Amino acid sequence: ENVSLLFKLYCLTVMTLVAATYTVALRYTRTVETELYFSTTAVCITEVIKLFLSVGILAKETGSLARLITSLKENVFGSPTELLKLSVPSLVYALQNNMAFVALSNLDAAVYQVTYQLKIPCTALCTVLMLNRTLSKLQWFSVFMLCGGVTLVQWKPAQATKVQVEQNPWLGFGAIAVAVLCSGFAGVYFEKVLKSSDTSLWVRNIQMYLSGIVVTLFGVYMSDGAQVLEKGFFYGYTHYVWFVIFLASVGGLYTSVVVKYTDNIMKGFSAAAAIVLSTVASVILFGLQITVTFSLGAILVCISIYLYGLPRQDTTKIQPAETKSSKERLATV
């Protein structure tokens, strides 16, 4: 049990460090680099790299090329149903990203930051409803405390601009609601698929990344198709950009490991810690000013992580269906 706990802690720590480094590197490429690249192509390349890395790890896991080919034939190319099953999170994540863009275009930045943090309790709710789990009152309290802490860490007062952009608040709130639901559903759905069978984690990743490549290529065509044809797929790429893509790829693979051996709620806590860590790094590297709201938010994040990690029932495994209904499980908390 101690080894298992240490392994989970190790996974969460590495994910936090990778996510924080990725955030800082991404900020550098978007603020310091003089020639911007197409973010849609970077996302597509990230999916391709994650696919190749997953194939490489699966090859090491199977032990031989023949077994690798057999595994791919049986679980990937010979199982269209499983491919369709794993295409669901890819499509939902694509919808989430588009809805987030619509919401940001129709809401003030501060309002967007606050409302988008609802994805944290939404993930907890999806975990309870979809995976037959229960959370204690203290865990629910820590989840909402984390939500508030992240909101304060990312809080930036809205600034008046000379150019008035026409916004539709109702459309913005509707889009953010869809994005929040997509975030919770897709993460928990992927966790359920991972933990409901003995299929290798890397086979599942390959199935998801194949559909992810198709979705991101469609995104490149819709968003930057004309400019990519004119300037090239790798326009604006530098070694810093490639470093960001590498971090995103490693982070994506590590996220699946964290979801496999912990859960989506812990992933959310790890991501929150990464936000705090990356902001502190930005203070050192970019001269970012620490505010009172950031300090208060960082304290709330640390306390919420501690409270959620107190001894409790193991929630990292899918529980068998119980006689209690979902409403009854929610009523207990």
* Domain contains 331: no
pLDDT > 70 fraction of the chain, expressed in percent and rounded: 87
* Domain contains 198: yes
* Domain contains 134: yes
Answer whether residue 190 shows pLDDT above 80. yes
pLDDT of residue 58: 93
Task: Give the pLDDT mean for 170-184.
Answer: 92
CB 58 within 8 A of CB 52: no
* Backbone φ and ψ of 132, nearest 5°: 55, 40
Task: Give the pLDDT mean for 233-255.
Answer: 90
Residue pLDDT, tens place only, 49-74: 999 999 999 999 898 889 999 988 88
CB 203 within 8 A of CB 71: yes
Alpha carbon separation from 217 to 43, 48, 110, 157, 212 (Å, rounded):
9, 11, 31, 36, 8
Segments forming the whole domain that contains residue 223: 5-155+167-309
Answer whether residue 231 shows pLDDT above 80. yes
pLDDT of residue 294: 87
Concatenated DSSP letters for 160-207? --SSPPP--HHHHHHHHHHHHHHHHHHHHHHHHHHHTS---HHHHHHH
Residue pLDDT, tens place only, 278-296: 888 877 877 777 788 888 9
Average per-residue pLDDT in the chain?
A: 83
Answer whether residue 160 shows pLDDT above 50. no
Task: Give the pLDDT mean for 79-101.
Answer: 86
* Domain contains 333: no
Quote the number of domains for the chain: 1
Which carries the bigger pLDDT value, residue 163 or residue 321?
A: 321
* Domain contains 136: yes
pLDDT of residue 333: 47
User: CA-to-CA distance for 175 and 116, rounded, in angstroms?
Assistant: 10
pLDDT of residue 284: 82
pLDDT of residue 114: 79
* Domain contains 109: yes
Alpha carbon separation from 288 to 9, 22, 30, 86, 240 (Å, rounded):
29, 17, 15, 40, 21
Per-residue confidence at 33, pLDDT binned at 50, 70, 90?
low
Give the number of other Cβ atoms within 10 Å of residue 294's Cβ: 20
* Domain contains 39: yes
Which carries the bigger pLDDT value, residue 27 or residue 126?
A: 126
User: CA-to-CA distance for 212 and 52, rounded, in angstroms?
Assistant: 13
Per-residue confidence at 162, pLDDT binned at 50, 70, 90?
very low
* Domain contains 16: yes
| pTM metric for this prediction | 0.80
